[in-house]
Amino acid sequence: MCIAAGFGLLFAVIKGFEYAGEIAFTVDASLHYFFELYFLVTGFHLLHVIFGSIVLFLVAWRPARGNILLITTLWHAIDLVWLVMFPIIYLV
């Protein structure tokens, strides 16, 4: 669980570097709406990854059967939502 949480936080750090490079493109009026949607959707995803990683660390600290079942169900439920949402957004 700690390894999965670590990779989640590593993803957040990498995404932060990506955001730093992409923020300069938001001043272009023709790209403004694209990047507004991009930062909104990927930002929500990033918040879910950070939240899930924190909960994974907490469950790894206090590993009880109920806690492990809770975080795995939460992680996969959120994952399924994003697996449906991203293709819909990219196809529209």
pLDDT of residue 48: 86
pLDDT of residue 18: 92
Long-range CB pairs of 86-92, under 8 A, 24+ apart, other chains included = 86/41, 89/37, 89/41
Tens of each residue's pLDDT in the chain, 92 residues: 899 999 999 999 999 999 998 888 888 788 788 888 888 888 988 998 999 899 889 999 988 888 888 888 888 888 888 888 878 877 77
Cα–Cα distance between 36 and 27 in angstroms, integer?
A: 11
Cα–Cα distance between 86 and 91 in angstroms, integer?
A: 8
pTM of whole model > 0.75?
A: yes
Here the tokens at position 69 are 């079942």
pLDDT of residue 63: 86
Cα–Cα distance between 55 and 8 in angstroms, integer?
A: 11
